[in-house]
Amino acid sequence: MSSSDTPDTDVTEAEAVEVDELREGVVARLREVLGDGVVEHHIVPNCDVWIRIRPDAWQAAASSVRYTLGARQFGFLSAIDWQPSPWRRYMDSEVDKAVHGDEPKPLPEMTTGYAGGETRFQVFARVANIIEHWGVTLKVDAGDTDPAVDTWTKVYAGADWHERETWEMFGVRFEGHPFLRNIYLPSGFEGNPLRKDYPLLSRFTKPWPGIVDVEPMPGTDEEPSSEEGA
């Protein structure tokens, strides 16, 4: 549902007309500073604004948002892995599917969220301007196989821990980060847990109790109906 510059179309007519000048102004000021660094933006009227930045303008975006636009309050920084999870919800995963007997649904293809995005990994950060009472979510594409993005620690010192957490959870390298190391996970931990293809083992070890096994009526040769009142 990536939208072009104008707010998405299926919004009712009245809302489309009502332009949120505060957030339009934010996008305009940022576009004026970064030029074509601002790739796309999406506004939910007087609610929130998302802006996608080109990867090489990411550090410049940080300093411009902080100094020129005055968004001094740092919120958070993290990443999203847009590839749909092969394990789906683990309940109807292959292990239990065999009991149910119908074949697994095909995997939905990858779509990205507001303000678009081409690659699988996307880093997003949120900063807020507490005088004019608005907050903005900046997004940047981090690449498919070996994601890497510039660091924000030079501008927002608080981003240090957030980048360390994103690095250990998603494997996104932050160029220029003082000392990228695990923050939550034990030092010898391999793999990036928050990636969608990282399995949640607790759901494999225990069979799903939701499978209905109701024995048939004694004496009748009715074979057990599998999907009984599912």
Partner 1 sequence: MTAVSDRQKLAYLAGQAADARVNVELETEGMVLNIGPQHPATHGTLRIVARLDGEQVVQAEPIMGYMHRGYEKLTEVRTYAQITALINRIDWVGSFANEVPFILAAERLMGIEAPPRAQWIRTILFEMGRMANIILFLGDMGIQVGALTPMFYAFRDREFILNQIEAVTGGRFHPNFDRIGGLKDDLPKGWIEDSHTAMAKVREICDIMEDVLLGAEIFEARTRGVGVIPPDVAMQFGLSGANARASGIDWDLRRDTDVGLPYGQVDWKVWTHPDGDSFARYWVRLQETREASLIVDQLLDTIPSGPVMAKVPRIIKVPEGEAYVATENPLGEMGFYVVSKGDLNPFRVKIKTASFNNLSITPWLLRGVYVPDIITILGSLYFILGDLDR
Partner 2 sequence: MPELPTPKLPGSGLLKGLGVTMRTALETMFPDGLKNPVPQPTKGAATVQYPHEKETPANRSRGVIALHDENCTACMLCVRECPDWCIYIEAHKTLAPPRRAGGKPRAVNALDRFDIDYSLCMYCGICVEVCPFEALFWSPEYEYSELKIADLLHDKTRLVQWFDTVPEFEPYESGAEIKVKKVPPPPKKADQ
73 counts as binding partner 1 under rule CB under 8 A: yes
Shortest gap between Cβ of 143 and partner 1 (angstroms)? 18
27 counts as binding partner 1 under rule CB under 8 A: no
Q: Choose which of 14, 17, 47, 98 interacts with partner 1 (CB under 8 A).
A: 47
With H, G, I as helix, E, B as strand and everything else as coil, classify residue 66: helix
Name the residue nearer to partner 1 (CB basis): 101 or 108.
108
Which residues, listed in sequence order, are joined to residue 81 by a DSSP beta bridge?
Answer: 121
208 counts as binding partner 2 under rule CB under 8 A: yes
Shortest gap between Cβ of 190 and partner 1 (angstroms)? 16
- Answer positive or negative: Cα dihedral of 130, 40, 125, 57: negative
- Kindly identify the residues of this chain, within the stretch 94-153, that bind partner 1 according to CB under 8 A: 108, 111, 113-114, 124, 126, 130, 133, 135, 137
CA distances from 31 to 24, 38, 41, 105 (A): 10, 6, 10, 43
Shortest gap between Cβ of 132 and partner 2 (angstroms)? 22
- Kindly identify the residues of this chain, within the stretch 76-105, that bind partner 1 according to CB under 8 A: 76, 78, 80-81, 84-85, 89-91
CA distances from 213 to 89, 99, 110, 164 (A): 21, 10, 36, 47
| H or E stretch at 94 | helix 94-100
Take residue 8 and report the two structure tokens written for it: 């998405």
Name the residue nearer to partner 2 (CB basis): 86 or 216.
216
